[in-house]
Chains A and B, each alone.
Chain A
Amino acid sequence: AQSVTQPDIHITVSEGASLELRCNYSYGATPYLFWYVQSPGQGLQLLLKYFSGDTLVQGIKGFEAEFKRSQSSFNLRKPSVHWSDAAEYFCAVGARGSSNTGKLIFGQGTTLQVKP
């Protein structure tokens, strides 16, 4: 069965510092991989996604993520965090194959707090 683990429930970084949010997945093959962000009272907004090809994926708001097959990881990074990045971040996987219905499996989420 597919699963997603985000080991860090809560992370605090200083504004301007770099950020890495971890995501590990369990899946029999290479899944589709996503990072979503949720600001308070808002829905989920897609930051970036990996389907195939280049394992370093660029997203919106200056975020990037790297797919590492050997580590079953898809960590999210940003070189310099802004106060507006404070939010909850979700990693998700989607299945491949003819029976794929588009269902997404989400991780527990990581709450990012940004210190001034």
Chain B
Amino acid sequence: EPEVTQTPSHQVTQMGQEVILRCVPISNHLYFYWYRQILGQKVEFLVSFYNNEISEKSEIFDDQFSVERPDGSNFTLKIRSTKLEDSAMYFCASTGGVTDTQYFGPGTRLTVL
């Protein structure tokens, strides 16, 4: 069964450093998402991406964040200058249609020191 994959599974970085989280969505999907889950809190929507542009973003998704689909298979989330409060589990999801099931990857745990 096709699945969403994410790399790395765990990323440790120093405050102020740039990180790139990578996702490979399911191959025929068209809509892509990033969510995050701070430890002990709810899963929060960050951004949705369709047709090579952002279709919606949350208040969390400020100028420090960016997304890209560089090569038609990968979908990346970049945090330009990480803060301590960016420490969280980041989930990528994809779907074939906005009302279809979203398939989630296993997540990347980001730890900012």
Q: Which residues of A contact B (CB under 8 A)?
A: 32, 36, 41-46, 49, 51, 90, 92, 94, 100-109
Question: What residue of chain A has the Cβ atom nearest to residue B94's Cβ?
Answer: A102
Interface flag for B41 (CB, 8 Å): yes
Q: Which residues of A contact B55 (CB under 8 A)?
A: 101
Q: State the main secondary structure of chain B at its contact with A.
A: strand
Q: Which residues of B contact A (CB under 8 A)?
A: 4, 31, 33, 35, 41-45, 48, 50, 55-56, 91, 93, 95, 97-99, 101-107
Whether A107 contacts B42 by the Cβ 8 Å rule is yes
Cβ distance B51 to chain A, nearest Cβ, rounded Å: 11
Q: Which residues of B contact A45 (CB under 8 A)?
A: 104
Cβ distance B66 to chain A, nearest Cβ, rounded Å: 17
Whether A43 contacts B99 by the Cβ 8 Å rule is no
Cβ distance B65 to chain A, nearest Cβ, rounded Å: 15
Instruction: A44-B91, A106-B43, A108-B42 are known; give 16 further A-B pairs, CB within 8 A.
Output: A32-B99, A41-B106, A43-B91, A43-B104, A44-B104, A92-B43, A100-B98, A101-B56, A101-B98, A102-B95, A102-B97, A104-B33, A104-B43, A104-B45, A104-B102, A106-B44
Whether B42 contacts A101 by the Cβ 8 Å rule is no
